[in-house]
Structure 1
Amino acid sequence: MEVLIKQIKNESSAAVIDIILPIQQIEFNVPITLNDQPDLLDIENVYYHNGGAFWGASVNEELAGTIALLKFDNDLAAIRKMFVKKDFRGKELGLAQRLLETLVQYCKDNEIKHLYLGTVSVLQAAMRFYERNGFEQIEKSALPKSFPLMSADNVFYHLAIK
């Protein structure tokens, strides 16, 4: 299987939505809609405008996973939209790991020193994944004031980029 990770832009919005919404709504019953996530319809303005980016992982030319970096201060950024289709999860392809490593390398190359993320407690496998990758769980009150909160998130993490 050929895996390709590359930055994606607005022309991929429909494919991105086709991955993310079913995982949120059907697989994990998170009460979130497309209206709650207007960023998915304007990837370029939301993510690239301030120095972030949005990547897609394709397997045999099918979009199978996503991760986004939302820069919200000089050297601070948030991970957003980290999703991998069920059929492509696991260590065999290592898509989540490869997506995260791509994002962290981008942070190093662009002098982003602190990564934050919010998730929901129902996503236990995601929480374990972040912890295995050195993220430390923090209280909501420990987030930077400028951190872009998502209403559904109730668990927060931080990673200092070395």
Structure 2
Amino acid sequence: MFTIKELDNSYCNAITELILPIQQVEFNVPVTLESQPDLLDIETTYIRPGGNFWGAFSENVLVGTIALMHAGPIGAIRKMFVRKEHRGARPGIAGELLDTLIRYSRQQQLQALYLGTVEQLKAAQRFYEKNGFTRIAEAALPAVFPKMPVDNIFYYRTLKN
């Protein structure tokens, strides 16, 4: 059983403690906390410009995150991470996090969602494709998309009905 709620800066330590080990240890992505200053001020980076940051909690422990950066008419999905022991169709944390972000994006009248990921995150790529995202070339990204330096695979999904 899990719950999803909006996060603010009071959760920055818990967010960092969840995300960094997944990036650095589990998947060997060459990123540091210093290269991700957004993790230290999610209110300024995500919430104030019109996006949001959500967390999934199991027994009051943060086990998953997803964030939306508002970039004009589009949204950029960021920080989609779920603890290894909480992944999979059951309990469905990743799917519920993504559904929450999509609902919010539609309420904000965003036209489309974009995201970047890295080659080694194969399960994430399958997850996005299963959830209606189409892989696109980096050259097809809109100019307003806030690209992360390590990202080398990109996806798109329209939000129009």
TM-score (norm 1): 0.97
Q: Which residue of 1 aligns with 2:136?
A: 138
Q: Helix, strand or coil: the match of 1:40? A: helix
Aligned to 1:7: 6
Pairwise CA RMSD of aligned residues? 0.6
User: Which digits, 9 at most, give the CA deviation of each residue in 1:98-136, with x for residues without a partner?
Assistant: 000000000111101110000001000000000000000
Output aligned runs, 1:85-96, within 5 Å. Answer: 85-96=83-94
Aligned to 1:47: 46
The counterpart of 1:80, out of the listed 61, 66, 78, is: 78
CA distance in 2, matches of 1:89, 1:133: 15
Aligned residues: 160
The AA in structure 1 aligned to 2:142 is: P
Q: What pairs with 1:106-145 in structure 2 (closer than 5 Å)?
A: 106-145=104-143
Detail structure 1 runs of 4+ shifted over 6 Å in the superposition: none
In structure 1, what is the Cα distance between the partners aligned to 2:141 and 2:48?
22
Structure 1 residue 81: Cα displacement: 0.1
Q: Verify: 1:19 aligned to 2:18, yes or no.
A: yes
Shift of 1:49: 1.4
3-state SS of the aligned residue for 1:65?
strand
Unaligned runs of 5+ in 2: none
Distance 2:15 2:30 in 1: 18
Q: 2:95 aligns with which of 94, 97, 101?
A: 97
C-alpha deviation, 1:146, in angstroms: 1.3
- TM-score, scaled relative to structure 2: 0.98
Q: % of aligned pairs identical?
A: 52
